[in-house]
Amino acid sequence: MIIDYPWYHIVFCLLAGAAYAGILYYVGHRMFGKGVNALLAILRFVAVSIIAFLLLAPVSRQIVNERQQPHVVMLQDASLSVGLSADSAFTLTSLVDDIGNTLRISHETFGNTNATDISEALTRHSHDDVAAVVLASDGIYNRGSNPATIADKLGCPVYTVALGDTTLRRDAALADLRVSRIAMQNSDFPLELTINASLLKGVSATLTISNAQGQGLYTQRIVYDENQYSTNIATALPADKPGLQRYTVRLSVADGEITAENNVMAFYVDIIDTRRNVALFANAPHPDLAALKRAIESNPTYKATIIMADAAQSGRFRVQDSNFSLAILHNLPSRTHTDIHYADQLPQLFVIGTQTDLSRFNSLHTGLEIISRTNRNNEVTALHNSQFALFHFDGSDAEAIEAMPPLTAPFGEARMSADIQMLFTARIGPVDSRQPLIAATTQGETRKSFIWGEGVWRWRLADYQSGNTFEHFDRLVTQLVAFTAMQQQRDRLQVETERSYAQGETPIVRAQLYNEAFELTNTPDINFSLTGDSTKAEYQFARDGQAYRLALPDLPQGLYHYSATSGDLSATGTFAIEALNLEQRCLVADHNLLRTISNTTGGELYYTNQLSELKAQLTAIKPTIYTHTRYAEFLRLPLVLALILLLLAAEWVLRKYHGTI
């Protein structure tokens, strides 16, 4: 029992009951006889004491045990590699029907004709209370992480059912292709191929690579000199025609191969005919400059040039002669470099740091004004603003940026024009200052963006330390640069697509529309026309926040041309649908992987003729007992209320019996 008041308040409740009974039956001289009077006083004392005690809001605490059936997740591999095996008709349905009454079953499938990601299937219920997982698969995966590593983190046994055939079959396959998806025109781009062959010793084959017009670009004769043959081939192909170009790799088919579909592979390369130049003006040497330059040039369509302010101020460098698309000003204007007018006609990205002269920066009328009365600096981290709508920024990238170390930002208060949008706000310790950290604007006819803090080199380094990749930081910089450098006169209607999509995935197209004042709007409709080799269709964008979004249906592989129109505005482009054929590159089941998964998690490996043993194993799982504490108010307990009524009713009956109420 628990009450919200000190324990001695119970004494006051007893005194209240005694006082009420004494006044009623002794002070008032209502005597029914000594014994009856005492009994009536006791009944009234107990009833009033209980009622007074209930005013203290007491609660009862009970320990409750709940029994719950074990939760078992059953995962069925529905990939093409299983469909091509003798186990193509096998399902876990019969097992589900047999034990569904004694266990809570989640029966799901994974994999398709293009790819298999076992790790994704295993993690679907990673946050649930799962007693066991049954994985029916051939062990072949071509997407995601190593399933054995993922399974080890589940905290429950994984029972595997081995499907497919581990027997080697006569076959040759283009097992892997590695190529840059972007290349510059009039240059060569590298390509690497992996070719695997089994049971074809002594057989020769011809490898050819051709363009969309059927012109042969590369030919090589290959001799399979082992029954388990594998080789890597590296070459370079010419990028002579701009645009998204299709290339086809073919490996001649030998007699008796189990399938010929894995002997052909198509890929697309976006060939760029020009590079956009970015001027990176700096007050002084700083590690930020190298980080920004490398991030910008991670996109092959951009080239960055670092220019010290001394050279620009002395006239040794002329922006007009270099055809720049964007000026990045790092710690400029500064106290030592004030009289520089090199970027007035360019879109500008300001990196505001400890050497920036804030008063001179404010005089540029960029739309951002920083009021500071001290030379102090703040250590600030990033907090993503989900309302930012000038361009799409992926949620995983935002989470990565939020985890980056702090930047050093001059202390001050921001005053912003209404057209500035904040991509990230500055967080000082755990507090959101609601001041901009990274922001952008479409002010007038020239775009501007801002990074209020220096030390972004730490972000790029931290990005690599956390995931062995610079992709999150590089994507932030390239998207910010691409947005700022965009020419608004030609780009009021902007359409974003990937260069290529995998066949089977949903192609997502995004669009943004600006009015004549270059303010973001989504009032007008945007129509979308799509044309492919055998496809011609019309769609309309759906509104998504302040922008637009279009989810296209499943499209066959090929090259597609699109045209988006809204009134007299239009945007055109191309993208490709690629058939990955990952499932056909390997058809030999990997039962060793399944055995490893079971052994490391405390499960077992079963074959399709051992389902009765698996059933016995699963039904032996004991129910889960959950123990928790339940609190109940005494005032809501029926027995307490019944006791009070019983006491008062007994008192009333006695008084009635002895002649008075």
Report pLDDT digits (tens) over 367-422.
899 998 888 999 999 999 999 988 888 888 999 999 999 999 999 999 999 889 99
Supply the pLDDT for residue 321: 45
Nearest alpha-carbon partner for 251 in 229, 272, 273: 229
Sequence-ordered list of residues with C-beta below 8 angstroms from that of 486, at least 6 positions apart, any chain: 347, 447, 494
Supply the pLDDT for residue 656: 78
Percentage of the chain beyond pLDDT 70 is 94
Mean pLDDT, the chain, integer? 86
Buried b / exposed e across 469-489, counting CB within 10 Å, b at 16+? ebbbbbbbbbbbbbbbbbeee
- Per-residue pLDDT reduced to its tens digit, 163-193: 988 888 899 999 888 888 888 888 888 999 9
Over residues 314-343, mean pLDDT: 70
Residue 544 scores a pLDDT above 50: yes
Q: Which of 106-115, 313-322, 351-360 has the lowest mean pLDDT?
A: 313-322
User: Pairing relation of β-strands 527-531 and 536-540?
Assistant: antiparallel
CA 462/CA 470 separation, integer angstroms:
9
88's tokens: 């193509």
pLDDT category of residue 143 using cuts at 50, 70 and 90: confident
Q: For residue 445, what are the CA distances in angstroms to 333, 498, 641? A: 22, 27, 77
Range ranked top by mean pLDDT from 17-26, 260-269, 617-626: 260-269
Residue 313 scores a pLDDT above 70: no
Supply the pLDDT for residue 28: 60
The count of other CB atoms within 10 Å of the CB of residue 649 is 12
| Residue 456 φ/ψ, nearest 5 degrees | -65, -15
Nearest alpha-carbon partner for 63 in 644, 642, 625, 560: 625
Burial label, 641 (beta-carbon count in 10 A; 0-12, 13-18, 19+):
middle
pLDDT category of residue 29 using cuts at 50, 70 and 90: low
Q: Which of 181-190, 226-235, 370-379, 546-555 has the lowest mean pLDDT?
A: 181-190
Give 185 or 549, the one with higher predicted confidence: 549
Query: Whole-model pTM?
Result: 0.58
pLDDT category of residue 224 using cuts at 50, 70 and 90: very high
Phi-psi sector, 429: left (phi>0), alpha (psi -120 to 50), beta? left
Q: For residue 313, what are the CA distances in angstroms to 83, 285, 290, 321, 338? A: 69, 16, 21, 15, 9
Give 181 or 540, the one with higher predicted confidence: 540
CB 191 within 8 A of CB 178: yes
CA 636/CA 138 separation, integer angstroms:
58
Supply the pLDDT for residue 142: 80
pLDDT category of residue 444 using cuts at 50, 70 and 90: low
- Per-residue pLDDT reduced to its tens digit, 632-644: 777 777 888 888 8
- Per-residue pLDDT reduced to its tens digit, 72-104: 999 999 888 787 777 778 888 888 888 888 888
